[in-house]
Amino acid sequence: MRMQDPARTTEGFPTARIPGPHGGPPVEVSLIAQLDRGAGNRLFADAGARQRTHAAFVDALDEPSARLAGVDLKRGDATALYSFAVGPTGHPFHRHAGHRVFTAVAGSGGTRLRFSTASDADLQSDAANFVRALHHVDIPPDALFTVRFGGGTWHQFAPLRDSGAHPTLFALSCHTDELGGISDPALRARIVAGDADIPTLTEPLPARVAAWLAAHPPRAEAVPTARLSLWAPRRSGRDRLRDGIGRMAGILRRAISGMRKPAGLATGIPYRRDIVHRRRVPADSLLAEHLTGRLDHEDFFVLALDGGRHGSSDAGALLARVLEGFLVGRPAGVTWLMRLRNGLVRPLRLRTSPLGCPVSSLLSADRARTFAGRYPVLDQRIDHDGRRAQVILGADDRHLVFRSCVGVEIMGDGRILVTLGTRVHCRNGFGRVYMALIDGVHRRYVSPSMLGTAAAHAFADTVGVESGISPGVSAAGESFITAA
């Protein structure tokens, strides 16, 4: 029986290292975090359900997986990304020709990682050499960890407790070189064509060795084992009770997650977008014809959509979609600010609305004049060629009068300009104090955020999706928002 190393504390991330086969890259396992009780089972259920609906999903070798991103050899990128899951029964020993790196979350019963560094020559000589080169790394329940190992390393992942109540893990894996170690011309061709998957890149344990291993299963206590943890082992009855409750929570969270239909949301516009702030309304804007007297506030935001085709030459139809975007795509921060504002001004009998002030009149019950037969407006204009459309929104309140203009213009080079401008005339001293207080947040956050979110809703279906928006300032001092 091999003796285990005594427990020792360490700073940073506890890490186990196993020498690689015949001087090759070592096996490295690092524990990153221990999560809430039951989190591992819930993640397995939620992410596993999404994985099953993926277009590149494959269920084989007790390791259901999905190719998230394949190689792009034309651009010199030989990496590939996969998700994979290992259920309550674990999966069989196998190996890959190439290098592997993955990040995983252990199930709520913990995970045992088993690695054998036996070479082909070792196995040809004696199947028992497989067990002689065997090592275990034990991961605690509901833990986030990373694994890295070289090609040719035999490995098997299984639950730490063989109860069948908890899954083993869910992981995101990076194949750092999908062609690494691959000599079979047919398999290389599949990889180049982007048609490879985890099963095709997997080599199972030779039947002779697998049969010997089944007949001579190694005793866990006889295998060198590294146990990683961020907390000291619990030994009291109270601690064991807490562990038991945690494992039960994992079973319940996995069951509840399995009852929910997976759903996801991706929003945005798939190319670079800048929202530029101009302090003056352009002369050709419809807004230039409204509130022409003394102004206490004026701004104009332009969002330019570059590099995509919208599939329409009708600016009016696109503007209707933008107006719909203001109604359904409300930024959470603006909604919170409006709730705060409404609570403060309601005792003063000022106008309130759940929608951001620049376009709040879209919720008006007055249908005397509408755009696209649906949206209440004060004025509208569509150019004769249909390539520019504008509407005027606004309201008169006790302390101020405001008018806003929302517009869409289709440029000759295919770009789309989506605009939002606002003018304000204060009726009294309170109105001027009110505008002084909100001017900065209106210019830097409220209007640009609302414009960006509405445009994302309007154009996502026709041109795709991408990441969100982050604030910035131009060299000229104009405020803008640029895609991350």
- pLDDT tens column, 307-364: 454 556 788 989 998 999 898 878 878 888 888 888 888 888 888 888 888 998 898 8
- pLDDT tens column, 241-289: 666 666 566 556 555 555 555 555 444 444 445 688 888 899 999 999 9
Residues paired with 298 in a beta bridge? 423
Global pTM value: 0.54
- Under 8 Å between Cβ of 105 and 169: yes
Q: How far apart are CA 277 and CA 473, in angstroms?
A: 10
Residue 16 belongs to what H/E stretch? strand 15-18
**Residue 136 CB coordination number (10 Å):** 20
Helix (H, G, I), strand (E, B) or coil at 248: helix
Q: How far apart are CA 363 and CA 342, in angstroms?
A: 15
User: What residue spans of 204-236 are helical by DSSP H?
Assistant: 207-215
Question: How high is the mean pLDDT in each 10-residue block of the chain (484 residues)?
Answer: 49 87 86 89 91 88 91 89 94 93 94 94 93 94 94 93 84 93 90 88 93 91 89 59 60 57 49 70 92 90 70 82 87 84 86 86 87 92 92 92 93 86 93 90 89 82 38 34 32
Helix (H, G, I), strand (E, B) or coil at 204: strand
**Residue 304 CB coordination number (10 Å):** 16
